[in-house]
Amino acid sequence: MHRRPVLLAISPRGVGFAVGVAFRCFTSTHAAHPLICSGSAVRYFPRNIVRVFGLRRVHQVPAEKPQGPVKSAKALVLNAGSSSLKFSVFNVDLRRKQDMAELNQPCGIQTANAMLLATGQVSDIGLESSTISYKAFIDDEQKFSTHIHVDDHKGAISEVLKLLRDPKLGVILDPAEIAVVGHRIVHGADKFNTATILTDDVIKAVEDASALAPLHNPPNLLGIRVAREIFKCPQVGVFDTAFHATIPPENYTYAIPLQLQREHHIRKYGFHGSSFCFVTGATAERLSMKRTEMNAIICHLGNGASMACIKQGRCIDTTMGLTPLEGLVMGTRSGDIDAGVVTHLINALGMSPKEVDTLLNKRSGLLGLTGHSNMQAVHAAADNGDADAALAEKIFVERIRKYIGSFLVKLEGELDALVFTAGVGENSERIRAMVCQGLGRLGMVLDTTKNTGASGVKEPAIISGVHSRTKILVVPTNEELGIAMQSVAAVGLIEPMLSPKEEAKLLMEAAKRRAEESVNGEEDEHMAMAVGGPKGVMIAASNRSEMTDSSIVEVGLMYGILPRVSKLGYFRPVAYHHADKRVNLMREVFGIGDDPETMYGVTVAQCSAMLAKKEDDKLMALILEKYQEYRQRHDFVVVSGLNQKELPQLGQDLNIRIADALNLPMVWSTDAGAFPSAGMTVSQSILSEISMSMLPGKQLKHVEVAASSSATSNVIGDEVQAQLKESKIDVIATQIDNRLRVRTLREVANVLGADVLTGHDALDTHHVGRLVVATMQVPDLLKYILAKSVEEDGGHQKVTRNQIQELKAEFKKFDKEHNGKILLEEVGTLMRVIGREMTDFEEQSVMAELDKDGTGKITFQEFLLLLSRRQEEPIPGSAPLVVTHISRIDVLLSLLMASRSQAFPKIAGVLLTGGSKETLPESVHAILAGLDVVGTPVLIIPLDTFAATQRIHGLHGLAPRLLPTAKVKLQAAQELFSMFSSSDFMERLVGGSSRRRDMTSHLFQHHIFLAARRQKQRIVLPEGDDWRVLVAAGELLARDLCDLIILGDRQRVLSLAKKYHADLSKATILDVKGMSWVEKDVMVETLLKLRGTKGMTREKALDIIDQDANYFGTLMMYLHRADGMVSGACHTTADTMRPAMQIIKTEPGASLVSSVFFMLLPERVYVFGDCAINVDPSAEDLAQIAASSAATAKAFGISPRVAMLSYATGQSNTGPIVDKVRKATELVQDLITDPEIAIEGPMQFDAAVDPEVAAVKVKGGASKVAGQATVVIFPDLNTGNNTYKAVQQSTRCVAIGPIMQGLRMPVNDLSRGCTVDDIVNTVVITCIQASTAKARDVTPPQ
């Protein structure tokens, strides 16, 4: 596949630093181009890719200092015990920049960008029984274990190094590959608050702290000394106590004489720091939070157990103290104990201090209470009726709960996460459940189903319920990885990045400097007008290629900007004429309601006249005046420059001058894949265009330049990159989608001025590929179209060896002088003869590039070279347009009949030449009227066949390339920027434009489609015999939004899809009646299992499966063969929902199924509930509907402010309905623990949504809901259903729904009057619901 990458080069002076993107590719010699990354780093290649490309291991030890930043580094982690040595090797990705605020705090680094290469342990060092175990992760996991004899730690590390360098099992070639060695050190006293490079002074300080950890620090030091001898890289100490260095004095100071404490360093230190550090980072990442903004309580529950209280990413308290003995009950340690117990044991029982120490550290805890130190054994004993074991469980749990309460007070109730980690925390669902029991009033609600499935997870898992204010998580710890990451950061290998606040400050300072420089000491009127006002960007197209049209860039950017601003504007400084097509395009596509007269400055005619009279200043003043007036009404304005057809000689220069006058950055659009300018290479042409705007002769003040270009990777190479860099221009590469090259039949009709005789509805969906001029007889014509279709289906058009003779024969026909050359001016005609398209502009470019000797001729070899350069993938969905004279009615009618056959290839349409509607016989009109349902368009034009085909060939050069009805092109333009431009780039472009607090309809639709595409789900559509469903399915698949299963008779589905031009090639079409008995039996058995007690028999089950597609689709969901279902286009709500209620059932915590509509008004998205399901809900039901609706709103990014509607507001009235709503409002408060959800009622609709009405009707102080509600709950179905329809019809807004809520898996019901867009929107919503259900793990078990 050959796609054209597009370059966007953005000056750092303007919209901010550009994101550099390059693609790793292999040339013919498999030489790899450099990989350039920005934003989130590229992760490691999957193992299958590694194997395919032979990239098993790459060892790079540069002989000299590398010129660029190192991309990764190997880190060795050592944990030396008295008779053991644990080790791990990680490859750490250095390309992900880290936030400075993260790096500056203890253990402050993210944790998810490293790969484990090898790990192992040497045991029983110095004994005959010593062994070494080893795992390497190369292609597949490799294990190794053997007995060895090592006398000391030096011998142990030497054996480890042998394994790491082993030809088969090793992961390094030389010790020099290890960039850093990280050592776990248990105690750093109060001297170290972060990972520290181990100098002689640091090692001396660790020795001094050994008195506080006599069993651990000495062997740690032994490992450090040996490693320093063997590995010459930096050695880093990572202290268990460092993470707790931020604990304030009031929390680490004991109430004993201060002098004693200070002299002997007696204080709370805390332990398990490496684990807490890792888990803090992993939790923040899982919750998509900055760790510097997160509050958490982390429970490290293993044989050794402790807890940490995290406030804004820093530890403020922990349970262990001077030693690991304080705090929680542990496997063999007592935890908190009255100090008087120690003196009592010594005085009353005569125990020595050492005996007491051994008792409390090694014979107490769970072991002392039950005889078992392992929690699993304690659980087993308790299950067998052991009362002591059951008591031990309670003691263990209550100590944890005591500290949760204590820490919650320290956090002032603001808790984001309660985290369980380590052996017991990760694997004992019983302990987690006991700890969380009764914490609902504190905002912590455990989901029992999620908790059951979370034990032993490999990734962080959320186990809290949907209404839990605090997230409860199980997060697997990885202390070794944490040590590796901290060690790499300590030696400065990871580059810090500026925080958004720091970066914004720099950009503001740069803007201020530009403003000061631009006026040379005098106030610039233009800049003064711009300060504090709305922002914008100017887009201009180059003269290099007809394929490049700034409308593509404009539409793509506007789609990207639209969700980020409240009011987006579009302005053309110079319009082609008063009814400018580009202005009309943007008004229709983006719903811009401005007067077209205000959306442009002057016309091309007016501009030309003023320039001819040397009235340049007057021209700029007029444009500026209209622009300033227009932009005051908008948050952001996209300004469209002149294109090459409007003012060919002056366009580029004038665009630059206008951008300068309007004080706007520019996006420069050009096509690097086009033929180069005369006398230049492609690279020179690109650089010439971009540098043109930087020439001193232009006297620019502060115009920032951006360029958009398209070419293959060998064109956009180092030469272009380097020269742009010298001009302070960075490059963003994207790819032009071939859908942008499609020519719709409507475009052809517009260009030709043709009348449409039939097939009006298909003009935008039929794409014109090659032209077939029908001068032959009908049988030969049909045979020709069939043959060409087979040829094109085989792949791209290519020049093969078998075709060379045929091409040479065609070439000779144009070789009039018989000298092996043809005139360059005839190349275009020859290309069309052999079925290749070429525009007039490309012909001119060919002449400029290939006429090297000035003869105006081309050889056959040069012609073949030209063909090879123009190889492109077929335009998606294109079909031939048949052109024939009006006299060939036989051709017309034969093609219309043939197009009804599935065996005949699709044609884009038929163009009749040499006539008009009036000259076409009445009999033909009558036949066409009867065949209109076929959908094959027929056009007619007075031009002769030759003139018509020439006009169509030149279509690329005619503006506009985009029409408001061209959905495929518009979607491609939108996706071009959403896929290849980062959100960071778009945010910088928009800059300081105003933001809305509430979700806008544009933002809502943008988010749901983006979310569906990122997490594709498998949706079943049971109504395969409805054309609307099939057309919607085609659009969903074309936009890659989901995977689809369509139920119905396969032939009928395909026939109907062809009739309505829906491409279902990517869908799974399932004919229930044609299924095997084996498959049906699975369904029957499932239905019997679920409904056997309700009178279901095998015969009934088989009949239901054969006859009821909704039941079949629901069973597919239950069996996890589909993730959701959308039905109702031709079924009642009861038919759609009954199977779901019987089979899928409600999710935990939901007592009923209800529905909402998303009402997409221009300024805000409302959630209306319930408008489809519950006829007359009780107060309890209404409370459940409100809680579910609030949760749904929040899940879709809508801030939930819930108004419980009635005919009275507040206490102004009483009555059955008002009282019901009032009671429901009270009940729902107990269901909602999320403080972000505000619910008030009863309230009238106008008081809920209109601030002015709310100010009058709602008494008693400020309300969080009145006048600003986003979710409205109706008291009954009659009110809700009528209201949503009234709002929809009166405002013409989009209403998406009904969306069902409360089921384990999503099933959504369509209105029987639904449109194709309704179906598309509902399926997308269903995809997001399915993804959410999976994340919450509420789907039914098989």
- Contact between residue 109 and residue 483 where contact means Cβ atoms under 8 Å apart: no
- Residue 601, token pair as written in the block: 């400055």
Instruction: Give the integer Cα–Cα distance in Å for 1315 and 1032.
Output: 9
| Angle separating helix axes 353-362 and 339-349, nearest 10 degrees | 130
- Contact between residue 547 and residue 711 where contact means Cβ atoms under 8 Å apart: no
- Contact between residue 635 and residue 566 where contact means Cβ atoms under 8 Å apart: yes
Return the active site residues. 240
Handedness of CA 339, 340, 346, 349 (dihedral sign): negative
Encoded amino acid at 58, one letter:
V
φ, ψ dihedrals at 183, nearest 5°: -110, 130
Residue written as token pair 């020519």: 743
- Residue 1171, token pair as written in the block: 């408008």
**How far are the Cα atoms of 863, 889, 914, 945, 1080 from residue 919, in angstroms, in the given order?**
44, 13, 9, 16, 60
- Residue 191, token pair as written in the block: 């001297």
φ, ψ dihedrals at 1006, nearest 5°: -60, -45
Secondary-structure percent of the chain, ordered helix, strand, coil, rounded to 5: 45, 15, 40
Q: What is the CA angle 208-313-38, rounded to 5? A: 105
- Contact between residue 933 and residue 1056 where contact means Cβ atoms under 8 Å apart: no
Residue written as token pair 């539409």: 555
- Contact between residue 955 and residue 747 where contact means Cβ atoms under 8 Å apart: yes
- Contact between residue 293 and residue 265 where contact means Cβ atoms under 8 Å apart: no
Handedness of CA 908, 911, 916, 919 (dihedral sign): negative
- Contact between residue 130 and residue 124 where contact means Cβ atoms under 8 Å apart: yes
Give the burial class of 1324: count Cβ atoms within 10 A of its Cβ; 0-12 exposed, 13-18 middle, 19 or more buried: buried
From the list 1130, 1109, 1113, 1132, the residue with the least C-alpha distance to 1121 is 1113
From the list 649, 653, 669, 597, the residue with the least C-alpha distance to 620 is 653
Encoded amino acid at 427, one letter:
N
From the list 551, 552, 554, the residue with the least C-alpha distance to 562 is 554
Residues 6+ apart with CB under 8 A from 6: 708, 709, 710, 733, 734, 735, 736, 976, 980
Instruction: Give the integer Cα–Cα distance in Å for 1233 and 376.
Output: 34
Instruction: Give the integer Cα–Cα distance in Å for 383 and 367.
Output: 17
Residues 6+ apart with CB under 8 A from 340: none
- Residue 800, token pair as written in the block: 């093969």
- Name the pairing type of β-strands 1294-1301 and 1238-1243: unpaired
Q: ω into residue 942 within 30 of 0, thus cis?
A: no
Instruction: Give the integer Cα–Cα distance in Å for 1067 and 1037.
Output: 7
Q: Where do the H-state alpha helices sit in 794-839?
A: 801-814, 827-833
From the list 596, 582, 658, 568, the residue with the least C-alpha distance to 989 is 568
666 SS3 class: strand
Instruction: Give the integer Cα–Cα distance in Å for 471 and 474.
Output: 10
Residue written as token pair 């709503």: 1221
Other Cβ atoms less than 10 A from the Cβ of 720: the count is 23
From the list 1040, 1092, 1085, 1048, the residue with the least C-alpha distance to 1066 is 1040
